[in-house]
Amino acid sequence: MGWNAFAIIGLAVVLAALLLAAGIEDARTREIANGKNAAIALLAPLWWWALGLGWTDVGVQLLVAAIVFGVFVGAFAAGWMGGGDVKMIAAISLWLPLGSLVDMLMVMAVLGGAITVLMMIDQRRRRAFGTIEVPYGVAIAAAALLVLPAILPIDGPVPATAQVAQTRS
């Protein structure tokens, strides 16, 4: 096992810890600290380096993250998500190849919907009124944690563009 394998495993563990901490924080306070989202985003270049991504692959990661950020800023502007949720999704998208990102977003939507339904049922049971604040960071973190094992290279580094091609075939 080479140095990059240790780096990949170490970075994946750190990412998992940050995701867990962000999900727990959002469940407790309905906020995700900017520091956690910044750490996720700022560790991504080390991930790319450990994977051996070339400039084209890094460009793809940055472009996809910018698009994801733009789309979810729209959700924030519509009042559908909090700012911390948007930043967390964008930061995670720096780590995931396109196919895995799509998987994560689909799982996130299902989990977020389930959490929302459970919170609505609880609110009705308690006969409470008002707007429900959904801790969407829990769904984001859980979805990212579920796809994380799939992006760990088993036989060595796989560039993001190759992973996209593999998911299409």
Residue 142 confidence (pLDDT) above 60:
yes
| C-beta neighbour count of 43 within 10 angstroms | 17
Of 152, 145, 167, 166, residue with least CA distance to 92? 145
Give the contacts of 89 (CB within 8 A, at least 6 positions apart). 68, 69, 72, 105, 108, 140
Q: What is the DSSP letter of 156?
A: S
> pLDDT: is 142 or 124 the higher one?
142
Residue 168 confidence (pLDDT) above 50:
no
pLDDT of residue 126: 86
114-121 long-range CB contacts below 8 Å, 24 or more apart?
Answer: 114/139, 115/139
Give the contacts of 136 (CB within 8 A, at least 6 positions apart). 26, 81, 82, 85, 112, 115
CA 20, CA 145: separation in Å to the nearest integer?
Answer: 8
Of 62, 89, 63, 61, residue with least CA distance to 75? 89
pLDDT tens per residue, range 99-123: 999 999 999 999 999 999 999 998 8
Of 121, 28, 123, 136, residue with least CA distance to 75? 136
pLDDT tier, 129 (very low <50, low <70, confident <90, very high otherwise): confident
pLDDT tens per residue, range 18-27: 999 999 999 9
Residue 166 confidence (pLDDT) above 60:
no
pTM of the model: 0.85
